[in-house]
Structure 1
């Protein structure tokens, strides 16, 4: 596959323009307040990178980008996966949402809740190479084999990087701890995603802190193997981010 060259006309997110299709609906006070707190009050800072709506209008799925995520909480995930459920007869709605560090994780989250995977693919920024595309597809397919333990997004415009530590749910899996590292070139509007395998969480975290401190070391390869049947499937869930270590 030939990679698409960078272009100055590559689409950029449009913030503050997301239509959640709930204006004509109501809900109980608790749901309304929760939606406003999680989504509505920050709507000017949110952009829909991908969205899908069921034919009957009962379900909507979004992968959102929050450009202000790290303002009050350094290291917080920039992506927000959202599932809206509407009862048009009762004129009410419900919602679930989850902040996640990588767009492909947000895609997997909404797909787990019934969104057709091919309908929610994020198209920008663009992946730099085929290795990034293949890894993202595998993450989407293997999301129920791993739990997200920790992540940190450094939105330094000169070194925009996200690191995430995942733990295999099968204790017999090779390289039980994985590190995903995403680097974004904001000028070219492209990104690269890579994966490394670690035997201990301490080693995985040490690599992440080195990378966040500006030391770029090769990621160790994931050890091959045939893990046993994994525990019951479940989507990756986010854990609280930790403070970034001083550089």
Structure 2
């Protein structure tokens, strides 16, 4: 995940996203819908990953405007564009998501080849260890076993953290019905770690996130099953229970 003010220490210029829609004469309603949901902040979107395959384009975008929005808002945007050059029109789908691997998963499950949507290594802090890399691979490649129900993104340089609560789509086969995924960024070392753990109830999962965000949480409990790789946490296919309203 990028810092909202410094995309990466080694990067001198920030790449710009190009949706390549200038030659398409779509209907006004569709253009307005795309503008309102995506293109209105085009100059503030940083392409962390993108892949183009004929009429299809897939993007993982960092939204630099999110830091000034509602506290906790996801700062990543997954976008799938489909162009019809014969009809000179296009369609699109998009989803705000809290973690890059979840955005990759969303795109992969809409037809993007898994090996074609790797993140730009010059943008954002790299993984700190193999555990992070392994969990990110599972999130990206098999992200339909769990549904996202809650997330909170904090971009405070003193404590850059993302917490996500997920619910198992198949609770009978999952080692835990609810999971928490936590990304923490070390701004001094400029690396990030990703960890997960299981909980029996959504209340327990949400309470751990609340405690983490308020500085009361201990270490994330050990994952219940070391074989959870076959049923990894992932991206929403259906809504999970929503957390109670809290002010932070």
- Root mean square deviation of aligned Cα: 2.5
Task: Return 5+ residue gaps in structure 2 as ranges.
Answer: 1-7
- In structure 2, what is the Cα distance between the partners aligned to 1:221 and 1:164? 16
- In structure 2, what is the Cα distance between the partners aligned to 1:141 and 1:41? 30
Assess, with a 3 A threshold, how the Cα gap between structure 1 residues 41 and 210 changes in structure 2: closer, same or farther: same
2:117 matches 1:116 = no
* CA deviation after TM superposition for structure 1 residue 9, in Å: 5.5
Per-residue CA deviations over 1:67-126 (Å, capped at 9, x if unaligned) read 221422111101100000001112211110000010000000111111111110113321
- In structure 1, what is the Cα distance between the partners aligned to 2:105 and 2:91? 20
* CA deviation after TM superposition for structure 1 residue 224, in Å: 2.3
Show the counterpart of 1:210.
211
Task: Spell out the pairing of 1:1-247 with structure 2 (5 A cutoff).
Answer: 10-11=10-11, 14=14, 17-54=16-53, 56=54, 58-122=55-119, 123=121, 124-125=123-124, 126-172=126-172, 173-224=174-225, 235-237=235-237, 245-246=247-248
- In structure 1, what is the Cα distance between the partners aligned to 2:11 and 2:164? 26
- In structure 1, what is the Cα distance between the partners aligned to 2:169 and 2:206? 18
Assess, with a 3 A threshold, how the Cα gap between structure 1 residues 59 and 220 changes in structure 2: closer, same or farther: same
TM-score normalised according to structure 2 size: 0.85
- Is the partner of 1:155 in helix, strand or coil? strand
Indicate if the aligned counterparts of 1:167 and 1:178 stay in contact, CA closer than 8 A: yes
* CA deviation after TM superposition for structure 1 residue 199, in Å: 0.7
Task: Return 5+ residue gaps in structure 1 as ranges.
Answer: 1-7
TM-score normalised according to structure 1 size: 0.85
Assess, with a 3 A threshold, how the Cα gap between structure 1 residues 144 and 13 changes in structure 2: closer, same or farther: farther
Indicate if the aligned counterparts of 1:13 and 1:47 stay in contact, CA closer than 8 A: no
Show the counterpart of 2:3.
none
- In structure 1, what is the Cα distance between the partners aligned to 2:142 and 2:166? 12
* CA deviation after TM superposition for structure 1 residue 33, in Å: 0.5
Count of paired positions:
232
- Is the partner of 2:218 in helix, strand or coil? coil
* CA deviation after TM superposition for structure 1 residue 184, in Å: 1.5
Show the counterpart of 1:3.
none
Indicate if the aligned counterparts of 1:212 and 1:244 stay in contact, CA closer than 8 A: no
Of 200-209 and 217-226, deviating more is 217-226
* CA deviation after TM superposition for structure 1 residue 12, in Å: 7.2
Indicate if the aligned counterparts of 1:105 and 1:139 stay in contact, CA closer than 8 A: yes
- In structure 1, what is the Cα distance between the partners aligned to 2:200 and 2:105? 25
- In structure 2, what is the Cα distance between the partners aligned to 1:241 and 1:66? 24
- In structure 2, what is the Cα distance between the partners aligned to 1:197 and 1:30? 44
- In structure 2, what is the Cα distance between the partners aligned to 1:10 and 1:129? 20
- In structure 2, what is the Cα distance between the partners aligned to 1:170 and 1:220? 22
